[in-house]
Amino acid sequence: MPEHEEHCLHSLKRYGVRGDDIHSWMDEPSSIAGGSHRDFRHELSSLPAAIQIFGSKYGADMVENIFLDHLKADSEENRRKEVERSHIEEKPMIWTFPVPSLDSTVDGLGRYLESTVISAPKSAKELVSDVKRIITYQSYYEVNYSVNQIFRTSVGQVHQESADHERILLNFPRRDITDFLGLRNEIQFSKTVENSGLHAMSYEAKNASEEALKKRIKGFVKTVEGSDIPVISHEVENPREEALKRIKELHSKSISYRARTSNRRYTKQCGISDRNIRINAVHLLYLPVIKLNFKLVRTPYSMITVQKSNGKILNLGYQDDWRRCVCNTCGVLLREGGSLEEMEGFRCSKCGQITCRKDGHWRKKHIFSKELVCPSCYEKGKSSGISYSDFG
């Protein structure tokens, strides 16, 4: 462990002051506790006391920097061991979510479309047909971490960033998937499958080939269509370092505060430091990503999703296209309304069915109104001698 002079020289090099009194105060219990003195005044809870004692001389930020550097230097050996433990030392086990049945996937797709696509008088669920799925297992790291850091200025504490056993998926581009799958609250990585809702495969994956992974996963999951199950690897050389980068991105913020004396507003960049991040656990996770090919009436579509065990699905692609109406005749997505020359689709004036421009017809009903009809109502009107025009 560093001696007093080493601490002082380090502070002088970094900040231009030795901070002898701060270092002496921190190590003062050594006269009583000897080698165990680091059980006292060497924890973050002692930082406010240090700022209260030495803040008027050095300023709160300087005291905090010197205090934290002293802690870091004293605990370097222990910290190195903690870093080593944070790496995946054991051969990682393959963890994966259960793949629901195809019927459950079809039902989940119908429910998703019902919540996003406007369809009348037929429901979007009734228009779905020819559903096929392709399941790809993609590897990620589930990271369990904790964060606690206090940010102070000359006016005192302006922000505290904290998180206790939060969970994220490493190398997954969409962060809301963590909330959707319940990684923060519901999912527990334990071998008790009945209690966790997870399938656990006791298989050493560290040096396994892709073919071996395919064989193992295929033998475990019974509901996957097709004989070939792709495995896409997103594994990284050092998952802990990647996790630290992601966590710092999530928890580093710009905080605005007001000084009481001058009544001026300032901004402090509150960046989380490595020493205030604790990686509790890292698990290798194989996530079944499902590609759905299906038709809405006659129009084919594709969607990339993940699915919960209760059948609910999350669309991983662009969702804007699904915030539209769907033609009940051909299944094409469209925007409803607009001028006669520009409209993509409309509701039939007679039956209310949503129809696209290509399949619809129209006629002048009065001087200032037009009648827009779907193919079915067009045929009925035509047989009664009513003349309609197309949108051509």
pLDDT value, residue 118: 93
Specify the pLDDT at position 105. Answer: 92
Has residue 183 got a pLDDT over 80? no
Q: Give residue 84's pLDDT.
A: 47
Query: Terminal CA-to-CA distance of the chain, rounded, Å?
Result: 84
**Predicted local distance difference test score (pLDDT) of residue 128:** 96
**Whole-number pLDDT of residue 195:** 34
- Stated as kind and residue range, the H or E segment containing 296 is strand 277-296
pLDDT of 166 over the 80 cut: yes
Higher local confidence (pLDDT), 178 or 111: 111
CA distance 222 to 54: 66
Q: What is the pLDDT of residue 197?
A: 37
Spell out the SS3 assignment of 104-130.
HHHHHHHHHHHHHCECCCCCHHHHEEE
**299, 355, 283: which is closest to 96 by C-alpha?**
283
The confidence score (pLDDT) of residue 85 equals 47
Mean pLDDT for the chain overall: 79
Residue for token pair 């696209």:
356
The region of weakest confidence among 122-131, 186-195, 325-334 is 186-195
Q: Which residues contact 180 (CB under 8 A, 6 or more apart)?
A: 306, 308, 314
Asked if residue 352 lies in contact with residue 377, where contact means CB atoms within 8 angstroms, the answer is no
The confidence score (pLDDT) of residue 25 equals 87
Q: What is the pLDDT at residue 116?
A: 92
| SS3 label, residue 290 | strand
Which domains does the chain possess? 4-74 (no CATH), 93-322 (no CATH), 326-390 (3.30.40)
| Side chain identity, residue 385 | G
Whole-number pLDDT of residue 388: 92
Residue 202 has pLDDT above 60, yes or no: no
Checking if the pLDDT of 45 tops 60, the result is: yes
Distance CA(291)–CA(238), nearest Å, equals 30
Closest to 363 measured CA to CA, from 392, 387, 339? 387
CA distance to 20, 23, 31, 33, 55, per residue, from 28 (Å): 12, 8, 6, 9, 18
- How many degrees, rounded to 5, is the angle at CA 349 between CA 347 and CA 353? 40
pLDDT at 41: 76
Query: What pLDDT digit, counting tens, does each position of 209-263 carry?
Result: 556 666 656 555 544 455 456 666 666 677 888 889 999 998 999 999 888 777 8
pLDDT number for residue 223: 44
Q: Does the structure show a pLDDT above 60 at 371?
A: yes
Q: What is the mean pLDDT of residues 371-375?
A: 94
Place of tokens 């701060």: 22
59: left (phi over 0), alpha (psi -120 to 50) or beta: left
Q: For residues 284 and 214, what is the distance between their CA atoms, to the nearest angstrom?
A: 16
Q: Cα dist. 368→227, 348, 351, 363, 371 in Å? A: 61, 17, 21, 11, 11
Collect all residues with Cβ–Cβ distance below 8 Å to 6 and sequence separation of at least 6: 73
pLDDT at position 358, please?
93
Q: Is the pLDDT higher at 285 or at 106?
A: 106
Residue 164 has pLDDT above 90, yes or no: no
Instruction: Tell me which amino acid residue 350 is.
Output: K
For the four alpha carbons of 313, 325, 292 and 286, in that order, the dihedral sign comes to negative
Q: What is the pLDDT of residue 287?
A: 80
**165-to-80, 94, 180, 184 alpha-carbon distances in Å:** 21, 21, 17, 8
Query: In this structure, are residues 168 and 246 in contact, taking their beta carbons and an 8 Å threshold?
Result: yes
Percentage of the chain with pLDDT > 90?
A: 29
* pLDDT of amino acid 140: 81
Q: Does the pLDDT at position 134 exceed 50?
A: yes
What is the amino acid identity at position 35? G
> Can you read off the two tokens belonging to residue 86?
């944070």
Q: Which residues pair with 313 in a beta bridge?
A: 307
Rounded distance between C-alpha atoms, residue 237 and residue 277, angstroms: 20
User: DSSP letter string over 140-168?
Assistant: EEEEEEEEEEEEEETTEEEEEEEEEEEEE
199 has pLDDT over 50? no
Question: For residue 74, which of 32, 11, 27, 12 has the smallest C-alpha distance?
Answer: 27
How do residues 305-314 score in pLDDT, each as one tens digit?
Answer: 988 878 899 9
Q: How far apart are CA 55 and CA 53, in angstroms?
A: 6
Which pLDDT tens digit goes with each residue over 67-104? 888 887 876 655 554 544 444 444 445 567 777 788 99
pLDDT at 6: 86
What is the pLDDT, as a whole number, of residue 221?
A: 54
Share of the chain above pLDDT 70, in %: 75
